[in-house]
Chains A and B, each alone.
Chain A
């Protein structure tokens, strides 16, 4: 199946700093990528929908100035957590949807962010 990578897999940062997470579709092109947040033992919460070449669509309650999303190419989307705070600590996971497919989402392995 299609492979999606995320980098880094784990990151620890100080409060107030910014962290960038990359999501790449390795063997297919994805016009749409999704960013989710997953708290321990909980479900995936959709944060935003990222479309190549256009602005991301954010879900209600998600601050777009805090969670900057860029989808510069058909294989790369980035999520930047700006001025991170301890409450931003979470598991961030992206998914990519193939251009010609059945809407199946392929998930990356996730990034564990810890803000001290």
Chain B
């Protein structure tokens, strides 16, 4: 079946440091979405990337979609304690169904 790999599994950073999580698919994606799940909560949509090589920014968050549409990354500049949570990518196939990566749990020390 379809697989989306995500690394790292955990990341502990000091407040103010940067953070990056990476996703990789074994097959070409139609699109990719990123979600954030706070402890005890449900995933919340952050963004969707569709075009090859696309880069989108949301304040301190930068999202990239690879040229081959097989990989993606989320980078957070100058992390804050409010960034704590698990970040999931969800690889889209035929714009229909999505397979989630394993998630990266971010912990930010104040």
* Total count of chain B residues near the partner, CB < 8 A: 24
Looking at the assembled complex, report how far the CB atom of B92 sits from the nearest CB atom of chain A, in whole angstroms: 7
Contact partner of A107 (CB less than 8 A), chosen from B44, B101, B102, is B44
CB proximity of A43 to chain B, nearest CB, Å? 5
Residue B63 interfacial (CB < 8 Å):
no
Contact, CB under 8 Å: A103 / B97 = no
Overall SS of chain B's interface = strand
Q: Which A41-69 residues sit within 8 Å CB-CB of chain B?
A: 41-46, 49, 57, 59-61
Asked if residues A105 and B97 are in contact (CB atoms below 8 Å), the reply is no
A-B contact count (CB 8 A): 53
**Does B1 reach chain A (CB closer than 8 Å)?**
yes
Q: How large is the interface on A (under 10, 10 to 19, 20 to 34, 35 or more residues)?
A: 20 to 34
Are A46's CB and B48's CB within 8 A? Answer: no
Q: Whole-angstrom distance between the alpha carbons of A60 and B97 in the complex?
A: 13
Q: Tell me which of B1, B33, B92, B103 contacts A43 (CB under 8 A).
A: B103
Q: Of all chain A residues, which has the CB nearest B9?
A: A41
Q: Could you mark each residue 14-41 of chain A with 1 if its beta carbon is under 8 Å from any beta carbon of chain B, else 0? A: 0000000000000000001010100001
B99–A109 touching, CB < 8 Å? no
Q: Contact between B45 and A104 (Cβ–Cβ < 8 Å)?
A: yes
Interface residues of A (CB under 8 A from B): 32, 34, 36, 41-46, 49, 57, 59-61, 93, 95, 102-110
- 11 residue pairs from A and B, CB less than 8 Å apart: A41-B105, A42-B102, A43-B6, A44-B88, A46-B97, A46-B100, A49-B97, A93-B43, A102-B48, A104-B45, A109-B41
